[in-house]
Amino acid sequence: MKTAIIGLPMTGKTSLFTILTGVHQETRIGSTAVRTGVAKVPDPRLNELAKLFEPNKVTHAVVEYLDMPSISKETLRDPAYVASLRVADAFAHVVRLFADETVPHEKGSVDPMRDIEDVEIELALSDLVVVEKRLERLEKDRKKIKDPNLDREFELLQKCKALLEGNTPLRQLELDAEDEKRIRGFQFLSQKPILWVLNIGESDAPRLHEVEEEWRAKLGGRTHTAVAAIGGKIEAELAELPPEEAGEYLASYGLKESGLVRLISATYALLGLMSFLTAGEDEVRAWTIPMHSNAVKAAGAIHSDFEKKFIRAEVVNWKNLVDLGGYPGVREKGLLRLEGKEYIVKDGDVLVIRHG
């Protein structure tokens, strides 16, 4: 699952990508320079399980990020750039809230809501071009062929066109499974979930959580969206410090944790993902699956053979496993359950897969 980091120039998005992933080198997709990297999903549960099992290896879930060139009318006319955006599953739009005279804003002033709406409009206009072209084609095809599927696609795209002409992103469109399948292949940009990453200045750092809540209220009512605030300059300085000094540095701003922790976790949730865990002496690991996945799909995340030959899953909550000192303790208390194929795995479940 890929998340593209997008934004206007001079918002701090490339610095944020580097801090998140540690990647400095560019690759090229066509004429577009794109950097790709992964960030570990913070998960304190793994640390607690590792203390218990003392494994050879601890493996976190990861989120893959793409660092895209700044978004503009020009870049959105570049087929390679748009193609790179279309393969992303979600966007993290870095929005500038910080003021800095040495880093001028391209529009002459810092206005976060204007910047959010401008990017939303550009994404919508890019989708509108695709919709209009397809509608033209459908007009011709429907005259030659009587097909209810073509008629339904035409109706659906007309609805999309009306929304886009009103500068409303397609993620606001609620679709049933059939209609979702009909338009999935278009990979509409404005339909993708979006995380607004608010890049605040140092003076606002002590009220970071408050800023986050204020903007959640301002942007409320928009479906498939989320908000996370970070102090980009603080995060850059934090990345240079040893762990023992990082806590003190955060505390000096009244912060308990890095903003990157919330940003990565918010990305993970926005993508509709969750983690189940496996734990033993060899490895303690978080496995990524879509929310509401059943036990068979979870088994398949570990190994395709486990999915094909699935028999049962032993399931226990990670906290119970830690509190009771391991598998013997949870067995004794009757907290290690046997579940079948259709069991819906919960975030934080520890699974042992029984398979043929």
Confidence of residue 317 (pLDDT cuts 50, 70, 90): very high
* Residues 325-329, mean pLDDT to the nearest whole number: 96
How far is it, in rounded angstroms, from Cα 189 to Cα 82? 9
User: Mean of the per-residue pLDDT values for the chain?
Assistant: 91
Confidence of residue 28 (pLDDT cuts 50, 70, 90): low
| Structural domains of the chain sorted by starting position, each given as residue range(s) with its CATH number in brackets | 2-42+62-109+192-270 (3.40.50.300), 121-190 (1.10.150.300), 292-355 (3.10.20.30)
How far is it, in rounded angstroms, from Cα 223 to Cα 195? 11
Q: Are 189 and 85 in contact (CB under 8 A)?
A: yes
pLDDT of residue 30 exceeding 60, the answer is: no
Which spans in the chain are helix H? Answer: 13-21, 44-53, 79-86, 112-144, 148-165, 177-184, 208-218, 232-239, 243-252, 259-270, 295-302, 304-308, 318-323, 327-332
Q: Are 211 and 229 in contact (CB under 8 A)?
A: yes
Residue keyed to tokens 């934004």: 7
pTM of the entire predicted model: 0.89
User: 294: which DSSP letter?
Assistant: B
pLDDT of residue 215 exceeding 90, the answer is: yes
126 token code pair: 């890019």
Closest C-alpha to 280, from 304, 302, 261, 311: 302
Pairing of strands 27-29, 57-59: unpaired
Closest C-alpha to 290, from 270, 310, 305, 304: 270
Residue 342 pLDDT: 95
pLDDT of residue 84 exceeding 60, the answer is: yes
Residue 77 pLDDT: 85
Residue 25 pLDDT: 62
Confidence of residue 107 (pLDDT cuts 50, 70, 90): confident
pLDDT of residue 74 exceeding 60, the answer is: yes
β-partners of residue 198 are: 95, 229
User: Which residues contact residue 126 at a Cβ distance below 8 angstroms, ignoring those fewer than 6 apart?
Assistant: 76, 82, 189, 190
